[in-house]
C-alpha cells in the first residue's frame, strides 16, 4: 500500500498504459482520478478501480483547470500527476518520386500531435503546480518515448513532442525542486497496448527482433515504473529519464 491515501491524477487513463497505471496505483491504495476524451471506457476503468472519471481534452486549458479545481475541491490535495495522454499521426516529412513531391506530413497532423502530447502536458502541469507548491510536496511524471531520445522514421511530429517532454521535465525539476516537487519522465519502448497489438503479425515480429529481451513491453511494465518513481523509494530522483524498453536501440 505504497500509495495509501495519495490522490493520483492520470491523463489518458481509459486504455493502454493509462488504464494499467490506474489499476496498479489503485492496488497500492491510491485514490485514482483519470481523465480522457473517451467517456464510456474511462467510466469503466474508474468504476473498476474505485476512482473518479472526468471527460477532459488536455488541449483545452479551461477544461484542464476546471478538472484540477474539481479534484482539489473534492480531495483537498493532489499528490501525483501522470501526464500519459498522447496520440499518433505518423507520416514522412516528405515523399518524392522521380524527384517530384508526391506526399508530405499534413500541417494539421503536426499541429494536433503537438497540441495533445506537448501542450497537453504543459497545460496539466501548469494547472496542478500551484496546488503542489502550496502543499510543498508532489510528484509529476511525464510520458516520453524511446523515439523521443533516438528518433524514428515517419514520426517527425511525435518525436518532436516526446523530445520536448524530456526537455520540459528537466526544466520543471529545476524550477519546482525547491518546493519538494519531483518531476521525472518515462521513455517506454514498444509496448503491447491495444493500438500496437492491432498491427500485422509481421510488424510485431519485426519489433520483437530489435529488442534484446525478445518481447514487447506490457502496459504493466510501464505502470510499475511509474509506481516506483511516484513512491518514497525514489525520493531523491528528479529530472531523470527512465527508459523502459527491453534494451531496444532504434536504428535507421
Catalytic residue among 75, 158, 179, 236: 158
Residue 215 main-chain phi, psi, to 5 deg:
-155, 160
DSSP, residue by residue, 183-204: EEEEEE-SB--HHHHTS-HHHH
Q: Based on the number of CB atoms within 10 Å of its own CB, is 130 exposed (0-12), middle (13-18) or buried (19 or more)?
A: exposed
Strands 100-104 and 94-97: antiparallel
Query: Which parts of the chain fold into alpha helices (H)?
Result: 16-27, 39-49, 61-75, 107-113, 120-135, 146-150, 156-176, 194-197, 201-209, 219-230
Cα gap 243→222, rounded to integer Å = 10
158 given a catalytic annotation:
yes
Q: Is 97 helix (H, G, I), strand (E, B) or coil?
A: strand
Q: What are phi and psi of 183, to 5 degrees?
A: -130, 120
Nearest to 35 by CA among 50, 6, 15: 15
Q: Look up cell 510543498; give the residue.
A: 136
Active site residues per annotation: 158
Amino acid at each position: 500500500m505504497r500509495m495509501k491515501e495519495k490522490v493520483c491524477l492520470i491523463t489518458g487513463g481509459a486504455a493502454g498504459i493509462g488504464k494499467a497505471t490506474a489499476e496498479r496505483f489503485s492496488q497500492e491504495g491510491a485514490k485514482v482520478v483519470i481523465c480522457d476524451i473517451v467517456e464510456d471506457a474511462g467510466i469503466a476503468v474508474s468504476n473498476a478501480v474505485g476512482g473518479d472519471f472526468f471527460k477532459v481534452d488536455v488541449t483545452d486549458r479551461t477544461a484542464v483547470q476546471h478538472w484540477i479545481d474539481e479534484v482539489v475541491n473534492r480531495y483537498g490535495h493532489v499528490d501525483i500527476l501522470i501526464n500519459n495522454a498522447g496520440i499518433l499521426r505518423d507520416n514522412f516529412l516528405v515523399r518524392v518520386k522521380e524527384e517530384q513531391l508526391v506526399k508530405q506530413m499534413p500541417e494539421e497532423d503536426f499541429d494536433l500531435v503537438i497540441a495533445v502530447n506537448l501542450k497537453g502536458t504543459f497545460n496539466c502541469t501548469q494547472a496542478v503546480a500551484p496546488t503542489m507548491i502550496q502543499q510543498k510536496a508532489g510528484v509529476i511524471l511525464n510520458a516520453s518515448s524511446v523515439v523521443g531520445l533516438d528518433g524514428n522514421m515517419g514520426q517527425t511530429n511525435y518525436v518532436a513532442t516526446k523530445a520536448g517532454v524530456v526537455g520540459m521535465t528537466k526544466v520543471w525539476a529545476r524550477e519546482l525542486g525547491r518546493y519538494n516537487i519531483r518531476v521525472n519522465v518515462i521513455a517506454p519502448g514498444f509496448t503491447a497496448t491495444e493500438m500496437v497489438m492491432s498491427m500485422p503479425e509481421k510488424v510485431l515480429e519485426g519489433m520483437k527482433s530489435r529488442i534484446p529481451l525478445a518481447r514487447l513491453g506490457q502496459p504493466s511494465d510501464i505502470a510499475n515504473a511509474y509506481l516506483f518513481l511516484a513512491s518514497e523509494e525514489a525520493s531523491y530522483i528528479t529530472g531523470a529519464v527512465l527508459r523502459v524498453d527491453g534494451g531496444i536501440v532504434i536504428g535507421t
